[in-house]
Amino acid sequence: MIFSPDAFTGSILAVEGIRDAAVILNGPTGCKLYHSFLSDRQFPRESSHDPLAFQDEFYFGQPRVPCTCLDGEDYIRGSLEKFERALTVIAAKEKGLLMVINSPGASLVGDDLESVIKKAGLQDRCFVVENPGFSLPAARGFENTALALLKHLKIRSPSSPLHLPESKKKVNLIGLSLLHKHWEGSVAEMKRLLAFLGLEVGTVFLAGTSLDEIRESGDAACNIVLFPEYGRRIAEWYREHFGTPAIFSPLGAPLGFDANESLLREVATVLDIDPAPALAEVRRARQASYRQISRFHSYSGLPKGASFSIRAESSLAFPLTHWLYSYLGMAPLAVKLLPGSDPETAESLRMFLEEKGFCEAWERDPSLESADIALADGPTLKLLKAKGCCKAGIEIAFPEEGYIHIIPKTYMGVSGALLLLEEIINGLRSK
């Protein structure tokens, strides 16, 4: 059983990740309620969540993802009249960009939503995604909608006089979404690490960014693709339109010391800057972790020799597998990739497992093994624990089991590596 979100969810959260943009769902309330809850939980904008404060028509007591509330009659006679009324009300309340997305059922009706938008004179601040991919993987819907957004917005050319020379020190982070666990902490950590290279982050596409940041994103010195599943095609769009070089870490997302060092060296090489200050920060974290690992190993013999299983996208699974094996001496028993994984990163992972003598772990379901540590999404971990397939679990992906995080966290960068080590050691220690 796979619990990963689909392209419909990925498409909605792509736009909900922009501070001054909103999604209008053309569909029934059944498609709205979960996505309204999810977007507000992942990226709260309102200081209060009193349902009585959101009693406007089409909001149903939730601050996010208003919908047209289609019913059976609308699927027979069409929904244009209801959509026109909803668009008028929502456009008056939401002052930023609006993205209209059809629910799976509404997409079959075939209503001309564009005509209603043009009639209302909202074509400059409103665009439609008729079919984001629906049952395809979430990353596909995210990228499809992100590309539609880029085509709708007028990205300023790097030759514009509005851009200052300092913009050469600016980079964009591509492929981070509200669907990534601890995305806010990840943004803060990547900004902190890149500052050691003298770089500032322009836009984070698309997690917590603004429309102005996106419009000015064409002058970045490079695009750093954190998760290829969610950013490879976006980075290619920037390369074709602005000549912006794209940087991919050979080890996937920056999880673990090795992958972070690899990414920092790639950035420094492309931009011709000295990576030493950033690498020194990683080295300090290595030293701090060694003191704890060596003491834990001295009386337990662990984590060396402990086993692990992973269910995740390839951009997460590869750096984790590489790091847990190479740095901690742990053995992979099952590494199962989710649909929509990046093919290049997946092939690198397959070759790594083959090289290290763990061919049988490739694409093996974690539910078929009993590992010391399992790394996966919340529902998968719950299932694995119930079946006795892991002694401890680390929730690295979405969906979550509901734990509310108040202190910002991340699994990326130096801070993320230390957090993962903490959870691994304590998971082994408690069992």
Query: 170-196 pLDDT, tens per residue?
Result: 999 999 999 999 999 999 999 999 999
What residues does CATH 3.40.50.1980 cover in the chain? 7-152, 165-278, 286-429
Give me the pLDDT at residue 106, please: 84
Average pLDDT value for residue range 87-96: 93
Spell out the long-range contacts of 163-169 with Cβ–Cβ below 8 A and sequence spacing 24 or more.
Answer: 163/216, 163/219, 167/202, 167/219, 167/220, 167/221, 168/221, 169/198, 169/199, 169/200, 169/221
Give me the pLDDT at residue 160, please: 47
pTM of the predicted model as reported, rounded to 2 decimal places:
0.93
pLDDT in tens, 324-335: 999 999 999 999
pLDDT for residue 307 is more than 70: yes
pLDDT in tens, 141-177: 999 999 999 999 988 877 644 444 444 589 999 999 9
Give me the pLDDT at residue 79, please: 80
Average pLDDT value for residue range 2-16: 90
If pLDDT is split at 50, 70 and 90, which confidence band does 1 have? low
User: Greater confidence, 30 or 264?
Assistant: 264
Which of 19-23, 77-81, 117-121, 311-315 is the least confident region? Answer: 77-81
Give me the pLDDT at residue 399, please: 86
% pLDDT > 70, the chain: 95
Average pLDDT value for residue range 200-225: 96
pLDDT in tens, 403-422: 888 888 999 999 999 999 99
Give me the pLDDT at residue 4, please: 81
Which CATH number is 286-429 given? 3.40.50.1980
Which CATH number does the domain 165-278 belong to among 1.10.260.40, 3.40.50.1980, 3.40.1350.10, 3.40.50.720? 3.40.50.1980
Give me the pLDDT at residue 159, please: 60
Which CATH number is 7-152 given? 3.40.50.1980
Average pLDDT value for residue range 243-270: 96
pLDDT in tens, 385-398: 999 999 999 999 98
Give me the pLDDT at residue 105, please: 83
Give me the pLDDT at residue 176, please: 97
Give me the pLDDT at residue 56, please: 79
Query: Considering the chain, what is the average pLDDT of its residues?
Result: 92
Give me the pLDDT at residue 163, please: 43
pLDDT for residue 260 is more than 80: yes
Task: Please state, in angstroms and rounded to a whole number, the distance separating the CA atoms of residues 387 and 367.
Answer: 8
